[in-house]
Amino acid sequence: MLRFLLLFSIFTISSCASLKKMEPGLERLRGQRIGKAFKILGYPDDKIETGDRHIYIWSVDRTYTEYQTRTKTTTKVVDNKVVEESVSSQEPVVVNDFCKIKIGTSTRDIIRDYEYNGDLQGCSKYMKPLKEYGSPEGS
């Protein structure tokens, strides 16, 4: 159990660190017209209008089952000899890929702020274009 928690913690920390690769692209969008975000991310999945703000939302939420190989090893003593026996099986694991990017604009559609959360797999479709746009050579 401790091993699982340690691996989960490492994965979570590395996932957060990897999502930070979107940050330069999102930061570079600040002050641009929202159309620029559409060119980079595609059209949003939702839009919320609140007072003098518009919030555009891009989201991914996929749940699926994939099969992973599990190996169980049994150790026993037979005729005073230690014998190990391994058995592998395919077990279903439910996976949820998630990503949400929110970009807030003024009523004139100028990007003012953003926020994002999710996991690596869920955000993968947005990471590459944002990373490219955020690089010094980005358009």
Per-residue model confidence as pLDDT tens for the chain (139 residues): 444 334 334 344 344 458 888 999 999 999 999 999 999 999 999 999 988 899 999 999 999 998 989 889 888 888 888 888 888 999 998 989 999 999 999 989 999 999 999 999 999 999 999 989 887 665 5
Report the run of H or E that residue 46 belongs to, with start and end. strand 46-50
Q: Are 116 and 23 in contact (CB under 8 A)?
A: no
pTM over 0.75: no
* Closest of 49, 10, 40, 19 to residue 115, by C-alpha: 19
What 3-state class would DSSP assign to 32?
A: coil
Q: Which pLDDT score is estimated for 2?
A: 43
CB 103 within 8 A of CB 55: yes
For residue 119, what are the contacts with CB-CB under 8 A and spacing of at least 6?
15, 19, 97, 98, 99
CATH topology (fold) of 2-62+95-134: Beta-lactamase Inhibitory Protein; Chain:B, domain 1 (3.30.1450)
